[in-house]
Amino acid sequence: MKLLMFQARRFWYRPFSKTLEQAEEASGEEEVPEAAVIFVHAEAEDEQRPSKVLTKALKNIKWLANKRGLKNVVLHSFTHLAGSKAPPEFAHDFLEEVAGRLRRTGYNVWLTPFGYVCEWELSVYGESLAKVFKEI
């Protein structure tokens, strides 16, 4: 699992093109202010250790969000951080599980449309802590 995480002033996105045939139809756009924006790359080997990966991903996401008191979290599937890729079904289910767990602990969560390339704008704070890469 790879996480590219940002403390963002603003994140705006809209679906651009569908990349997975089985993906649900998506349209519209969203703008999320004051958010932890998490680009998630699920790797093939993550299927063998889903519980460990989930626990560590949640810990890292909450840690980054709490450093600035952010209650908004955006999860974006981003399969460009490593060569190994988990099957789409695993990645989708993983993101849904992370979103559910975060919501149950008081976070507002947005999931960008899975199976789409999105157009986005990201405004990130300047401190080095506002840009974090983690390998789990």
CATH of the domain at 78: 3.50.80.10
Domain count, the chain: 1
In a domain, 109, yes or no: yes
Segment 44-63 mean pLDDT: 97
36 lies in some domain: yes
CA distances from 106 to 11, 19, 52, 103 (A): 20, 32, 22, 5
- Is the pTM higher than 0.85? yes
The DSSP symbol for 131 reads E
Domain, as residue range, for 59: 2-20+32-135
| pLDDT tens-digit map of 91-130 | 999 999 999 999 999 999 999 999 999 999 999 999 999 9
25 is a domain residue: no
**What does the alpha-carbon distance between residue 5 and residue 68 come to, in Å, rounded to a whole number?**
13
